[in-house]
Amino acid sequence: MAFSSRLSAARFVAIMTPVALLGGAIGSQYLGGLFPCEMCYWQRWPHLAAIALALVAIILRGSPGLSRMFTVLAALAIGVSGGIGVFHAGVEYHWWEGLTACSTNLGSGGMSTMDAIMNAPLIRCDVAQWTLGGISLAGFNAILSIGAALLTLFLALTKRGRA
């Protein structure tokens, strides 16, 4: 895929990174049975904001200055998710203490509210549900989000080529 400029490449990274990471998170939840904890949800919100900001940047691609601004804002939102991922991974690896709240998924599925509460899984923020090579999903989010945020900022703030 050829890009006419670094800004268009930045917009591509700014939209595809949160779409892919959010898609992976939702897929692992609904297809893989990995229920998110509270901090997992926190990592999703900045990705949603990044998608909205990147879409605005794409819509405004005819106005390079505004498009660049929204692309940079999307990169910052992606970076925020990565920062939350660093904190969450640190809690999972017991480098520091996290929050005391746990999260649950209350899909009632025809049950009463009390039955749904009693049967819902409690998800601890300090226990990784899945790892690959010792890296948890929060760790992967941190690595990929921070890397993509830095790449997007570099591409968006380097003004060679056309918008």
Q: In whole angstroms, what is the distance from residue 32 CA to residue 71 CA?
A: 32
Helix (H) or strand (E) holding 132: strand 131-132
Taking the chain (163 residues) in consecutive chunks of 10 residues, what is each chunk's mean pLDDT? 81 98 94 89 96 98 95 98 94 82 52 65 71 85 97 89 50
Q: In whole angstroms, what is the distance from residue 158 CA to residue 156 CA?
A: 6
* pTM of full prediction above 0.85: no
Q: Note the pLDDT of residue 135.
A: 83
Q: Helices in 31-163 by DSSP H: which ranges?
A: 38-59, 64-92, 113-119, 137-157
Q: Note the pLDDT of residue 96.
A: 86
